[in-house]
Amino acid sequence: MALKSDSMKKGISKAPQRALLKALGLMDYEIDKPLVGIVNSFNEVIPGHIHLDKLSQAVKTGVKIAGGTPLEFPTIGVCDGIAMNHPGMRYSLPSREVIADSIEIMAEAHAFDALVMVTNCDKIVPGMLMAAVRINIPTVIVGGGPMLAGRLKGEDIDLITVFEAVGKVQTGGMSESEVQEVIRRACPGCGSCAGLFTANSMNCLCEALGISLPGNGTIPAVYADRTLLAKKAGVAVMELLKKDVRPKGIITKEALENAFTVDMAIGGSSNTVLHLSAVAYEADIDFDLNKINEISRRTPNLCHISPSGPAHMQDLHEAGGIPAVINELMKKDLINKNAVTVRGRTIGEIAKDTPVINNEVIRPVDDPYSETGGLTILWGNLAPEGAIVKQAGVSEETLHYKGKARVFDSEEAATDAILGKKIVPGDVVIVRYEGPKGGPGMREMLTLTSALAGLGLVTQVALITDGRFSGGTRGCAIGHVSPEAAEGGPLAFVKEGDEIEIDIPAQKLVLNVDDAEMETRRQGWTPPEPKIKHGYLARYARDVSSASKGAVI
């Protein structure tokens, strides 16, 4: 079998390279084997990554068992929860591009034959997915697994419980000493936060895409099965190498449709649209946002995992996980069953052996939570290129909503107004200049949505932004409004008191201002000065695309 690494290590002209490889302590026997890059985003900052050093060791064991030589290298990561609600959040989404770029640099510079990517958390998983299809050598992605839910007074809690506690303190519904108890118990150990937030959504969708082994999305981080999964991934990548199965042969248009279908069924984070759009871009796949609504219309929502309901990721795992969800969806022919996977079996073959164990966690396809999916793309004069809402987290009261605009030009200003009790039922909170360019970095605004929930306003107030909302968001929170305000999108021309109409079932987001008035406002608008003028964020803001295109460089 001809190896890519042969171009770097074979022949007399490559004697210097072999000398350097031997300096690593490698024997000639090891150098002559396939060289498998183990990308590891381990660090001591992110709870979802603190244990990845151990998983990486398990992957390396699997590679060695199957006849390869593993060589580990790192990449960066940002913890969205720690970065939330301060300037650090501007770096979260832009870090995705750095992750993809850094992996490309390492893989191509060192001529690896295959890759196993050990990852977790919000931007690291999609960054690695983007790199996988861009580099296009045999690759398996291994997630670090979800955190277990915390327990308080006999109930499961998670990080969102802490965020919402902040709002409860403002109303007198919780004391600061009670918040301290929530803090102590909400995050009991390593793993990505326990609900179906962006990190766990993306790890689940890696299964649906076929680029990860079954269980990748739901096996808890602390279970021995997570270590076993990592070891199996090391073995699996060597089999992919033998058969020359590459990411672009796995992540196809059909696989993306499967991923979005599963996303709708489980009610995943709205950020998955941003990330899968970026993956499609890297894979040279044209994936129109209208296709997402088409998939949503035909896909029933089967799961209400936190923040949409009381269940957590360990409950989804025990109910059968993603294969069981796919098993249900196949009953109505909603899945491309012949899509290939890194396991060497089709997605249909894997799922047919996994029945649902708990119908309270994964509803039968004939008795869903709703007949349509968890995400909806909205269109209208306020979002000509689209906006997104996590419909599964929206209450019945706000599916159809009309209210008066309260306009804020930053997350901080909106947060102060909400916590200062200046937002009342019937308001539509507009947070603009927070998009990919305007932010810059398209900050996530979990503090806003959690504050509304804590204040008891989550069913009485709507939020609209060109920024993003966390996968932990619930309520009528509409994000990714495109084009963004900083590029002269209609959001820039909304005035205090304007009437805004939201109709989620009809996929409409409308500003009730006539065209002539909008044109007058457009003519009088002046683009804002860039908030960041130097460094990485300034370069990012200059080159980044619209959110409707995945916010790619």
Q: Render pLDDT for 344-368 as a digit per residue (tens, 0 to 9).
A: 999 999 999 899 999 999 999 999 9
Pairing of strands 400-408, 427-431: parallel
223, 495 Cβ separation under 8 angstroms: no
Residue 451 has a pLDDT of 81
* pLDDT, average across residues 263-274: 92
Residue 302's CB: how many other CB atoms inside 10 A?
Answer: 27
Identify the H or E element spanning 430: strand 427-431
Partnered with residue 37 across adjacent β-strands are 71, 115
The candidate with the shortest Cα–Cα distance to 36, out of 118, 141, 138, is 138
Catalytic residue, candidates 306, 470, 482, 546: 470
470 is catalytic: yes
For helices 253-266 and 321-330, the axis angle rounded to 10 degrees is 100
The amino acid present at 59, given as its one-letter code, is: V
Q: Please, which pLDDT band fits residue 287 given cuts at 50, 70 and 90?
A: confident
532 has pLDDT over 70? yes
C-alpha distance from residue 509 to each of 255, 282, 385, 399 (Å)? 30, 30, 11, 11
Dist. CA 8–CA 229, nearest whole Å? 31
Matching residue, tokens 């994964």:
362
Residue 391 has a pLDDT of 85
Torsions phi, psi for 304 (to 5 deg): -125, 80
Residue 387's CB: how many other CB atoms inside 10 A?
Answer: 28
Q: Please, which pLDDT band fits residue 472 given cuts at 50, 70 and 90?
A: low
Residue 129 has a pLDDT of 98
Q: Please, which pLDDT band fits residue 172 given cuts at 50, 70 and 90?
A: confident
* pLDDT, average across residues 248-273: 95
pTM beyond 0.85, yes or no: yes
The two structure tokens encoding residue 301: 């929502």
Bond before 307 cis per omega within 30 degrees: yes
Sorted by sequence, the CB contacts under 8 Å of residue 493 that are 6+ apart come out as: 513, 518, 521, 522, 525
238 has pLDDT over 90? yes
Matching residue, tokens 């098993």:
327
* pLDDT, average across residues 454-458: 84
155 has pLDDT over 80? yes
List pLDDT tens digits, range 475-530.
Answer: 889 999 999 999 999 999 999 999 999 999 999 999 999 999 999 999 999 999 99
Sorted by sequence, the CB contacts under 8 Å of residue 130 that are 6+ apart come out as: 96, 99, 100, 278, 279, 282
Residue 455 has a pLDDT of 84
The two structure tokens encoding residue 348: 């249909």
Q: Please, which pLDDT band fits residue 372 given cuts at 50, 70 and 90?
A: very high
84, 193 Cβ separation under 8 angstroms: no
Dist. CA 247–CA 62, nearest whole Å? 20
Residue 305 has a pLDDT of 94
Sorted by sequence, the CB contacts under 8 Å of residue 331 that are 6+ apart come out as: 365, 366
Give percent of the chain above pLDDT 70. Answer: 99
List pLDDT tens digits, range 247-259.
Answer: 999 999 999 999 9
Higher-pLDDT residue of 172 and 470 is: 172
In sequence order, which ranges of 213-270 are alpha helices (DSSP H)? 224-243, 247-250, 253-266
229 has pLDDT over 80? yes
List pLDDT tens digits, range 142-151.
Answer: 999 999 999 9
Provide the mean pLDDT of the chain: 94
545 has pLDDT over 80? yes
Residue 445's CB: how many other CB atoms inside 10 A?
Answer: 27
Residue 269 has a pLDDT of 87
